[in-house]
Each structure stands twice: as structure tokens, then as C-alpha cells.
Structure 1
Amino acid sequence: MKSKPDPVRLDDWDIRILSEIQSDGRISKSELAKRVHLSASACSERLRVLQAAGIIEGFYARLSPSLIGGIISIMVEVVLDRHRLEDQRHFEAAIQNVPEILDCWAIGGRIDYLMRVSSPSMAAYQDFMEGLLQAGLGINQYYSLVVTKPVKANSSIPLSSFKRR
């Protein structure tokens, strides 16, 4: 079982760097250094430390589903048959390499997991869910919530209000 990593102490420079790369992941290191008012070498070193610590998990392009065409998003609430640790681990391991599942969170309350699923159509989504049910993942019930339009989609953490540890 993975142990939880110790939190990294972030200072004002780190927060500035993280804020800038959240808004522009393609920024050059020299431009980043200018924006945060550090030398290029100091900025690069801080960026390397933040990556090594796992605070920066990766750099991604955010795609526009509406411009790609025909992609729907569905939030899926999942309730497992049993709630033993081994059942949870089995479910969590099994969904790791399922590309249609974009995100999955363990939830406390009336459901066990909340998944964000992408599908080209409702028919494809139904086939996908039937496949999950037949895969022996221990799903007892699921509830589908179709996203009709994005109202706010922002993956940035609001670091401006971040209190240093």
C-alpha cells in the first residue's frame, strides 16, 4: 500500500511558478522566469524540484469536445455489491486502464464512486456500461447523469488564496 507523501513546503516563489504554469503549460522557462521575477537558473531549479516532488503531475492539452464532434460526457455514480477493502481495490485496479473513464473518485455517502466517462454516443455508452457490468467488477448499481453543457470547466487550483504551510 502506498504511503501518503509528506506535504512539500511551498513558498511564494513556488506558488507564483505553479500559478503561471497552470494558466499556460506551454510557457518557456525563460518567459516563466521573467513572469515570476527569478533568474532562469533559479526558476528552472524550482520547477525541477516541484516536478520531482510530484506536485506537478504532468502537462496536458485541454481539448474541446464540441469541436472534435460527437463526444458526450456522463457522470456515473457507482455502488458496489460489497464494501470490503479487497472489493474496492479490485474495482480501482480494474478501471485504471479503461480509456473511457476520464476520472474516478471514491466517495463517502450513498454511492461508492463517481466517474466521469466520455463516449461518442449514448448507444456506445450503454454498450460500455454493459461491458463493465459483465467484467465482474462488483458493480451493484449505477446511475448515469448526462452532461448537457459545460458551465464551468477549470482544472486550476486557486493558488492565490493558498496559505503556505
Structure 2
Amino acid sequence: MKSKSDPVRLDAWDVRILSEIQSDGRISKSELAKRVHLSASACSERLRILQAAGIIEGFYARLSPALVGGIICIMVEVILDRHRLEDQRNFETAIQEIPEILDCWAIGGRIDYLMRVSSPSMAAYQDFMERLLQAGLGIDQYYSLIVTKPVKSNSPIPLSAVRRR
């Protein structure tokens, strides 16, 4: 049985659909069908299958941090004080409920986790980190990297090299 993390083999139709919706998540199903040269019903069915398989994780609006209210972005490297599976699970479960943490990745190497955090100000970020450290999540060390400007973000996944069936 395939696990959820096993890559799915995609055919050329799937790749075309995924390429289009990565560029424009608000595209109508009829327009999508036209662009990929499928009937509307065949395109809708493939889209449903791609969603059910978890390949399409969702549709989102990308907001402008500057226009939403001057939100700053901080990348935070986290090192846990212990590295038992229980400690990792505790940390990973706890951060799911913290809205300021936009993304978090487990990392192999000198740090344990890399988080992308949003904050309205540096003072608010410092308060946030103090609360996080007091929350008993097992954080031993953290390093803050302040994003000064986005250079490239939210790029589509290059589908030219995906496994095809």
C-alpha cells in the first residue's frame, strides 16, 4: 500500500493541469479545461482526483505583508535541548496552534527546525519569543534572521522533472 508521502506518478494531462493552477488558482474549471485541451468533465474529474490524492493541498490568496499592515517576516532557527522523539512530537504539536508561526520545517544538520514567523513589529516579535521560550517546548537556542526584502517567494514547483506514468 502506498503511503501519503510516496510520490504519485502523473501523466502529461495532470502536469498541464497542475502547471495552470499553480499560476492561477482562481481559474475557472471551464477555462482550465480549454487551456489544457480536455473536456470540462474530464478536467474536473482529474482535478478532483488530484485533490483527493493530496497533490493539491489547497487554494490560497497571497497577501501583501506591507499592505496588510507592515508585517515583518523573521526566519527562526530552533535547536531543542533534547532530541528524543517525544520532545520533537511535543514541539511539533504545540507549534500547530501558534498563528504567528506561518511555516515550520524539521531540518537535518546543525539546527532542528526552521520557522517562518510573522510579527507586526520587532518589539512584538521579542514578546512572542519570550512567551515561546516560557511555554516549555524544549527550546535550547534560537537564532533570528530578519527578512529585509523578498527576493523570490511562492514560486510554483517546477513540474518538468516530475515522474510520469
TM-score, length of structure 2 as denominator length? 0.95
Q: Given residue 50 of structure 2, which amino acid in structure 1 is its aligned partner?
A: L
> Per-residue displacement from partner, 1:44-76 (whole Å, max 9, x unpaired)?
000000000000000000001111232100000
Q: 1:164 Cα deviation (Å)?
A: 2.1
Q: 1:155 Cα deviation (Å)?
A: 3.6
- Secondary structure of 1:43's counterpart equals helix
* Superposition CA RMSD, Å: 1.2
**1:52-91 alignment to 2 at 5 Å?**
52-91=52-91
Q: 1:163 Cα deviation (Å)?
A: 3.9
**1:124-143 alignment to 2 at 5 Å?**
124-143=124-143
The runs of at least 4 consecutive aligned structure 1 residues that moved more than 3 Å come to: 3-6
Q: 1:93 Cα deviation (Å)?
A: 0.2
Distance 1:69 1:132 in 2: 23
- Secondary structure of 1:161's counterpart equals coil
**1:93-104 alignment to 2 at 5 Å?**
93-104=93-104
Distance 2:72 2:41 in 1: 44
- Please name the residue that 2:116 is paired with: 116
Distance 2:36 2:146 in 1: 41
Q: Which runs of 5+ in 2 are unaligned?
A: none
Distance 1:120 1:133 in 2: 19
Distance 1:18 1:112 in 2: 32
TM-score, length of structure 1 as denominator length? 0.95
- Please name the residue that 2:28 is paired with: 28
- Please name the residue that 1:147 is paired with: 147
Q: Which runs of 5+ in 1 are unaligned?
A: none
Q: 1:5 Cα deviation (Å)?
A: 4.1
Aligned length: 163
Contact 2:10 2:163 in 1 (8 A): no
